[in-house]
Amino acid sequence: MRLVLLSLSVILILMATFAGCGGEDKDPFTTPPAGGNTTVSRDSPRIASWLAKKDQIIESGKPYDLVMSALFMPDEAEHIRNANPDVKLLAGFTTNWVWQNEAWVQTLLTVAGYGSGKTFEITDDMFLRKPGGERCPFGWESESWGHEEIYAMDPTNQKWVELITTFYKTLLDMPQHDGIVIDMVIETSLCRAISDADWIEATRAIMARITEYNTEGKLVIFNSGRDISEIDAFGEYMDGYLMENFMGSWGADFETGLKAADSPYIVIYAVDTENTGEKNLSKMRLGLTLSLLNDNTYFTYDFGPRDHGQAWWFDEYDADLGRPLGEYYRKGEGFYREFEKGFVVASPYAETTVTFDAEHIDMTSGDRASVFQIPEGDGRIYLRSDLLKE
């Protein structure tokens, strides 16, 4: 798992805007911008962006359904909602870590202070310590990636608790936010600085306090890492979770993802390129079709844990499937679901032969036929030919 990384330019713009706020007439964090929504929402698929690069998403004009970033200024929210009025915008960092990046820290302190009228600072006693007194690093520091280290904070330190919960209260109070996201949630104490039981108890107390601040019942999404089994001690405080590096070298597999959706939680399948930038389109399509087998699931595909949030958009994302006509089912090696205007088929285990009674179009290849072959580890969206406009 990784921390939300705002680009320095975005943070500096935010700071300049905040610093230039003249009096009570204009609030840069919450003043609604002029204008309104101009487009309608889609039936499917449901596309998310994890640790979003907001400038790329705005420039793309694509109708994302769920966008997660550090925070959204009102004009940013307006631009994103112009593409999809029903998009959910979730803001947040984390509750137990601090990234040693000056701009990141300044954003945390500014937002927390704005919400409370207080002046916050990160003091040395807030950090979790090894037995020898050293801070507990996450291992994020990298010269090649240009990343500073991330350190664990002491969840029992009340000054830290006040700072981070006030930060989240501010985000929840901002009307442009539909909820919050909390990254790097874990059940084990890094460095064994405190017992796992104490870590869990203190973290639950933080989550409970944030829940008290969530008076409007806005969405709360956690990054679970591999699966909910890694964070189920905090299950009562969230509406859903993100499965990072899904179907990757350390993430959950297809079967675990399918099982995860059989729950009351929102589930976000976050597939990536394993920090290579080499797009595996078969794996992308497999994750996308998996997300279409249930109604409580979203899909995102990006570079990887070292650099999330690219606004990549694939032709399959534009599929106009209409409403689902029933639950998914397994037939041979494929997982099928029928929609008003076509089918989605996931083929995780072996090559699948798909046979229809009428001609369909493979949205990936453009082929028209009634029989198709899906390679192992791939997925496809098929649209009914008779319903497509020529």
Q: Which of 224, 219, 233, 282 has its CA nearest to residue 257?
A: 224
Q: Is the domain of 110 the same as that of 158?
A: yes
Q: Is the domain of 32 the same as that of 90?
A: yes
Q: Is the domain of 290 the same as that of 342?
A: no
Say whether pLDDT at 38 is over 50: no
Residue 36, judged by CB atoms within 10 A of its CB (0-12, 13-18, 19+), counts as exposed
Indicate the residue type of 374.
Answer: I
Q: Is the domain of 236 the same as that of 171?
A: yes
Q: Is the domain of 216 the same as that of 330?
A: no
Count of domains observed in the chain: 2
**Residue 290: inside a domain:** yes
**Residue 183: inside a domain:** yes
- Strand-pairing partners, residue 316, are none
Q: How many CA atoms lie within 13 A of 291 on its CB side?
A: 29
Cβ density class 305-338: b for 16+ within 10 Å, e for less: bbbbbbbbbbebbebbbeebeeebeeeebbbbbb
**Residue 198: inside a domain:** yes
Q: Is the domain of 300 the same as that of 336?
A: no
Domain C-terminal end among 318, 349, 373: 318
- pLDDT confidence band for 43 (50 / 70 / 90): confident
Residue 249, judged by CB atoms within 10 A of its CB (0-12, 13-18, 19+), counts as exposed
pLDDT of residue 21: 40
Q: Which of 50, 72, 48 has its CA nearest to residue 3?
A: 50
Domain C-terminal end among 293, 318, 343: 318
**Residue 3: inside a domain:** no
CATH, residue 207: 3.20.20.70
**Residue 1: inside a domain:** no
* Cα–Cα distance for residue pair 344/335, rounded to 1 Å: 8
What is the domain extent for residue 355?
Answer: 324-390
CATH, residue 389: 2.60.40.1180
pLDDT of residue 42: 55
Lowest mean pLDDT, pick from 41-50, 101-110, 200-209 = 41-50
Say whether pLDDT at 259 is over 90: yes
Q: Is the domain of 290 the same as that of 373?
A: no
- pLDDT confidence band for 388 (50 / 70 / 90): confident
Cβ atoms within 10 A of the Cβ of 13, count? 13
Whole-prediction pTM value?
Answer: 0.91
Cβ neighbours of residue 104 under 8 Å, at least 6 residues apart? 3, 5, 6, 11, 93
Q: E strand or H helix at 114, and its extent?
A: helix 102-116
**Residue 52 CA from chain centroid, whole number:** 8
Q: Is the domain of 128 the same as that of 266?
A: yes
**Residue 52: inside a domain:** yes
* Cα–Cα distance for residue pair 369/361, rounded to 1 Å: 7
Q: Is the domain of 364 the same as that of 308?
A: no
- pLDDT confidence band for 34 (50 / 70 / 90): very low
- pLDDT confidence band for 27 (50 / 70 / 90): low
- pLDDT confidence band for 376 (50 / 70 / 90): very high
Cβ neighbours of residue 246 under 8 Å, at least 6 residues apart? 252, 257, 269, 270, 271, 287
